[in-house]
Structure 1
Amino acid sequence: MITPTPLMEITTGYWAFKTLAAAVELDLFGRLSGGRVVTQQEVQQELDLPERPADLLLAACASLGLLERSGTGYRNTELAEQFLVPGRPHYFGGQVRYCDERTYLPYHRLGEALRADRPLTWDPQTQESLFTTADPGMLAMFWEAMYSTSSFTARSLGEAYDFGAHRRLLDVGGGAGAFPVELCRRYPQLRATVFDLPHVRAKAEEKITAAGLADRIGTASGNFLTDPALPTGHDVILLSMILHDWNETQNRAILARCHAALPPGGAIVVCELLLDDDRTGPRSAALMGMTMLVETEGGRNYSGAEYADWLVDAGFTDVRVVAFDAPGANGAVIARRP
């Protein structure tokens, strides 16, 4: 018998997210780091919460797989310990905070975005793009969120596609450099350049230095939308979670610049949350497309077939798609310049 249970799960999806966001805001998981076990009474005292809210928060976090019972208390699960403790290498709290503070409330006006076809989180009439903001704190939160998501996505990409034959990687729109850092760690012969806006370059250099890879990863300033050419001297170009921000015309122009920058035999790797060719899923890619409606002027999530068509039109050959599972992407479209 069909029931409305699936609709109930969709309708109440924000319950889980806002519970996670509140726990991150309170630094609940940081306080339980290192295997520490706390009782409800200790949580009340340390977080300055009354008895009922403390009880409900702990039960909710346990139901979400973030906490587990240990005797009369609670401790972090492995998931929370790895990704929700501040200071850990792949801290995911920045992504949680960014979504909570940047996109959650604008999503309340999704109907407006659907009717007007314009972003809700920034004003195109007063700002150059969604990547510029008057709030430095929000911008810093954005790059931390992207770095966390990108780090694990880069690991999955490095397992799905063999960069062993390449020597020089150009990460176009590489942000804080998570992909080159992870790929250079996995492939010792690889050297890389992060190409991004000048104010992003400093963030990338900070992360690269912290990773101990300044001798293998460099940076270059530029704008892949407006610069007439990309840096040359690389045998593989990576577009990681970039093209979903832009419309088809802009993406075709970016791919043409990539083709021009590569030598014969060079490869391009487009890493994205790919829609199925019939545009019925997967859910992560389709709903990311709705976020593009809220956050961008012309972005959307595209299918592997769409990227393949654009790559062929740009002059690439041997197009193929590799699938993998990661928080920021589910596959990569790979092609070669003949």
Structure 2
Amino acid sequence: MNEQVTPVPLMELTSGVYAFKALALATDLELFTDLADGRTVTAAGFAEKHGLQLRPAELLLTACTALGLLRLEAGGMYRNTPMSEEFLVKGKAYYFGGWITVVDRHEYPAYLKLADSLRGNHPTTWDPKRQESLFAPDDPVMTEHFWEGMHALSAYTARLLAGALDFSKIGRLLDVGGGGAAFDIELCRRWPHLKATVFDLSFVCDLTRPRVAAAALEERIAFAVGDFFTDPLPAGHDAVLLSNILHDWGEDDVQKIIVACADALPTGGLVLICESFVADDKQGPPLAALMSLNMLVETWGKNYTAAEYSGWLRAAGLEPEGVTPFDGLGANGVLVARKH
């Protein structure tokens, strides 16, 4: 046996399920929200609040502490760490709990059937025989959890995009499949001259309008109802944003969407593809590769490489100008292409 090789990394991979379920349960119990603004709790106090015995209460709190989600102080007092305070407290701008709920209730059960997806080459988070797509308006999981979860992913990533690219010469942005408007809200806040249009299905636009109103951006963020496979995209925009849209679809559909975006743009207009790009050699990075595997249980798509996108962009009359990397949630950069 090679003494320099150990199975410890395998144990770390295996224990990922323990860590995630601890995070998901603590989030569901609103532990971190209860500890907002410097509040503390003891194991006994946590047990009493939730009707638990002391042993399981202490085990969950210890796990959260070991994972960097809580800090244990003198007197057995637990409090939020800065990360939990910023991203796991309900009501905070970049609350991540929505995505945790989606993974726990929507995706985790599907992974029990991952082998079915592998052998059948089909999703398992929804039934393709009964639904037209993942984005069915009558799917209760989608309406109750998915859009909230996507907003959790998008808001923080949008903030990074707003700082990574120069939007000073983009006056009007078309956000294709932009349900939730997280990108439009963040970009409009960062760039006061910018106006945006969310193009999405009717029920998604209806779910999104209250968010835009709450951000007091109704005069700068408009809505256009449509289906990007059947309806022409609205003209009159300087740039089109495709954020975490293309990975949901197979190669033929991706190319159709890119062509539709190109057709809607004037000469010199930009397409912005914000995604978690798999490396061109398809050896990583790990999160992009795992998110790509996640598309096996979710959709008919996968996470594509920048090289693959570049070929499709050129075929549609767009010239790629490279990828600007950043460390976002569900996205690791933005590929910019300009219409000839």
User: Does the TM-score normalized on the shorter chain lie above 0.5?
Assistant: yes
CA apart distance, 1:137: 5.1
Structure 1 contact 37–70 (Cα < 8 Å) conserved: no
What is aligned with 1:203? 207
Q: How many residues align?
A: 336
Is residue 2:318 matched to residue 1:316? Answer: yes
**2:47 alignment partner, one of 44, 48, 53:** 44
Is the alpha carbon distance of 1:289 and 1:318 closer, same or farther for their aligned partners in structure 2, counting shifts above 3 Å?
A: closer
Asked if 1:304 corresponds to 2:306, the answer is yes
Q: Shift in Å at residue 318 of structure 1?
A: 4.3
Structure 2 residue 63 is the aligned partner of structure 1 residue 60: yes
- Structure-1 separation of matches of 2:81 and 2:327: 21
Q: Unaligned regions of 5+ residues in structure 1, if any? A: none
CA distance in 2: counterparts of 1:122 and 1:137, whole angstroms: 10
Name the TM-score, length of structure 2 as normaliser.
0.97
Aligned pair 1:155/2:170, yes or no?
no
**Corresponding residue to 2:241 among 235, 238, 241:** 238
Alignment of 1:92-107 (within 5 A): 92-107=96-111
> Does the residue aligned with 2:242 lie in a helix, a strand or coil?
strand
What is the CA–CA distance in structure 1 between the aligned matches of 2:193 and 2:33, rounded to whole Å?
37
Gaps of 5+ in 2: none
Structure 1 CA distance for aligned equivalents of residues 209 and 230 of structure 2: 23
1:18 aligns with 2:5: no
Q: Which residue of 1 aligns with 2:252?
A: 249
The aligned runs of 1:259-270 (5 Å cut-off) are 259-270=262-273
Q: CA deviation at 1:133?
A: 5.3
Determine helix, strand or coil for the equivalent of 2:218: coil
- Residues 1-338 of structure 1 correspond to what in structure 2 (within 5 A)? 1-72=4-75, 73-132=77-136, 134-136=138-140, 138-227=142-231, 229-296=232-299, 298-338=300-340
Report the Cα distance in structure 2 between the residues aligned to 1:215 and 1:134, rounded to whole angstroms.
Answer: 30
1:70 Cα deviation (Å)? 2.4
* 1:25-56 deviation per Cα after TM superposition (whole angstroms, max 9, x unaligned): 11111111110011111111112111101111
Aligned residue type for 2:6: T
Question: How big is the shift at 1:201?
Answer: 0.4
Tell me if structure 2 keeps the 8 A contact 1:95–1:148: yes
Whole-angstrom distance in 2 between the partners of 1:287 and 1:200: 27
Give the drift of 1:211: 0.6
Q: Name the TM-score, length of structure 1 as normaliser.
A: 0.97
**Amino acid of the residue matched to residue 337 of structure 2?**
A
Q: Percent identity?
A: 50
Q: Measure how far apart 1:138 and its partner are.
A: 4.0
Q: Which whole-Å CA distance do the structure 1 matches of 2:205 and 2:31 have between them?
A: 33
Please tell me whether the aligned partners of residues 118 and 293 of structure 1 are also in contact (alpha carbons under 8 angstroms). yes
8 Å contact from structure 1 (residues 204, 219) kept in 2? no
1-side partners of 2:83 and 2:66: how far apart? Answer: 13
Distance apart, 1:196 and its partner CA: 0.2
Aligned 8 A contact 2:200 2:225 in 1 = yes
Aligned residues: CA RMSD: 1.1
Q: Measure, in 1, the Cα distance between the counterparts of 2:71 and 2:16.
A: 21
